[in-house]
């Protein structure tokens, strides 16, 4: 069961194509390095990816990197470097950190700069269908042409302004809706020396608003099983992608929409102005391991806000270390019994059952791990009393190894 952001209900997961799953997962806007709040989203997506494979699904996962947008161009100009130099540098760090955090490589690693042809093709089709129009050599999407616009957020279109408004930037700060037409194609500007393409639309570049739809449809088509991202994407971004894709296909873009909640620091949102942005490397410098960072970020409920404090982080590190120590003791405890008693056998069976019960309840990793912790601590007591047979101990360890293909924190 997964909580669908579209319906606001828990729903049994049934992919379109039996055991094959197409999953689009929002990655970073790479004008800056991702912080631990960003990684919380990427790791919940990774846990979902791994758990679907654990259940026997064949998963195609697309992960996107936004490397062409207003903010990236502004940051490159601020640093006095070429846009590609900035984004390549940050992308390299991002991929290295994902690897250190034990995130599984996606089937498709996508970049907005490599999906320009697809974006142009989509824009051209939207123009022909009159969902989009030209204005001063740029192209805009008219949301009033798409009858269910804002359905993911449940936007009240009765409040839509009667006068024509256009929003020319890729994004706008704050959590308000842009009540007007949003840009799809930026016209070429004379001072734009590197961020434009010569296309059938003329010189210019695709706007941020169309890039995810272009990357998703280019890799997975116009029908995906799961579409994931952070909760901030419920404002504008994902509804824009829905409107673009469904205007062309006439069909539902995604079966399930999943959104992870924010990570706060000491009860406050991370921001440059507060000076409280934390990167994974900052935590590793505190004498912890990358595995501890992963554990802290996944050990909760992805739809519930996570609050980072030094004390909570240290407590999570200690709990993981305690669990790993128990597993090691279980591995090394000598046993003379060939057979376990009935209580032990039931305890071993519960390792798998309770893990899956909690993961099947909308990926509740914390409850799943707490159940593992509780059952392993009991099993260790039984082992120290020589009530765990050799075969059953190996079965318990094999079960943990299988579970760790999802969690990636035990071994």
In this prediction, residue 339 has a pLDDT band, given cuts at 50, 70 and 90, of: low
* E strands, 96-191, in order: 108-111, 132-135, 138-141, 166-167, 181-187
How many Cα atoms within 13 Å fall on the side-chain side of residue 229?
Answer: 24
* 157-169: average pLDDT: 92
DSSP strand pairing (181-187 vs 166-167):
parallel
In this prediction, residue 288 has a pLDDT band, given cuts at 50, 70 and 90, of: confident
What's the rounded Cα separation, in Å, for the pair 393 and 72?
53
Query: In terms of CATH architecture, what is 14-265?
Result: 3-Layer(aba) Sandwich (3.40)
pLDDT of residue 384: 82
Which one-letter DSSP state was computed for residue 319?
Answer: H
What lies within 8 Å, CB to CB, of 274 at 6+ separation is 268
- C-alpha dist (Å) from residue 355 to 40, 101, 306: 21, 21, 21
Digit-coded pLDDT (tens) for 346-398: 888 999 999 999 999 999 999 999 999 999 999 888 888 777 778 888 889 99
The answer, yes or no, to whether residue 337 has pLDDT greater than 90, is no
For the chain, give the percent of residues with pLDDT over 90.
82
Q: How many CB atoms are closer than 10 A to CB 148?
A: 12
What DSSP string runs through 9-69?
Answer: EEE----TBTTEEEEEE---BTTS---HHHHHHHHHHHHHHHHHHHTT-EEEEEEEEB-SS
As given in the structure block, the two tokens for residue 135 are 């204005």
Domain boundaries, the chain: 14-265, 324-411
Burial of 354 (0-12, 13-18, 19+ CB in 10 A): middle
Query: Could you tell me the pTM of the whole model?
Result: 0.94
* 21-35: average pLDDT: 95
Residues recorded for the chain: 411
């Amino acid at each position: 069961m997964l909580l669908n952001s579209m319906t606001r209900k828990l729903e049994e997961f049934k992919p379109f194509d039996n055991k094959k799953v197409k999953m689009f997962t929002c990655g970073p806007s790479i004008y800056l390095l991702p912080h631990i709040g960003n990684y919380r989203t990427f790791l919940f997506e990774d846990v979902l990816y791994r758990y679907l494979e654990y259940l026997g699904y064949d998963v195609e996962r697309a992960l996107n990197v936004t490397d062409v947008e207003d903010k990236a161009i502004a940051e490159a100009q601020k640093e006095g470097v070429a846009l590609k130099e900035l984004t390549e540098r940050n992308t390299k760090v991002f991929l290295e950190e994902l690897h250190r955090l034990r995130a599984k490589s996606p089937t498709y690693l996508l970049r907005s700069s490599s999906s320009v042809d697809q974006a142009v093709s989509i824009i051209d089709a939207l123009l022909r269908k009159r969902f989009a129009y030209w204005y001063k050599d740029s192209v805009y999407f008219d949301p009033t042409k798409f009858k269910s616009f804002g359905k993911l957020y449940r936007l009240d279109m009765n409040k839509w302004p009667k006068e024509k408004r256009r929003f020319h930037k890729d994004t706008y700060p704050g959590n308000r809706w842009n009540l007007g037409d949003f840009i799809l194609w930026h016209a070429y500007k004379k001072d734009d020396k590197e961020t434009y393409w010569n296309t059938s639309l003329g010189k210019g570049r695709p706007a941020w608003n169309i890039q995810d739809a272009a990357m998703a449809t280019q890799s997975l088509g116009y029908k995906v099983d799961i579409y994931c991202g952070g909760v901030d994407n419920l404002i504008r971004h994902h509804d824009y992608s829905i409107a673009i894709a469904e205007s062309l296909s006439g069909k539902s873009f995604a079966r399930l929409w999943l959104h992870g909640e924010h990570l706060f620091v000491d009860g406050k949102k991370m921001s440059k102005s507060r000076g409280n942005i934390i990167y994974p490397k900052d935590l590793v410098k505190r004498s912890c391991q990358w595995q501890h960072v992963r554990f802290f970020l996944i050990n909760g409920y992805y739809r519930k806000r996570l609050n980072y404090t030094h004390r909570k982080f240290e407590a999570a590190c200690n709990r993981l270390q305690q669990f790993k120590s128990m597993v090691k003791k279980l591995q090394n405890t000598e046993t003379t019994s060939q057979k376990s008693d009935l209580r032990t056998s039931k305890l071993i069976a519960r390792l798998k059952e309770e893990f899956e019960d909690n993961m099947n309840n909308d990926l509740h990793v914390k409850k799943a791990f707490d159940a593992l912790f509780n059952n392993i601590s009991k099993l260790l007591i039984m082992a120290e009393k020589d009530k765990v047979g050799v075969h059953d101990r190996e079965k318990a360890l094999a079960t943990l190894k299988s579970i760790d293909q999802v969690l990636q924190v035990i071994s």
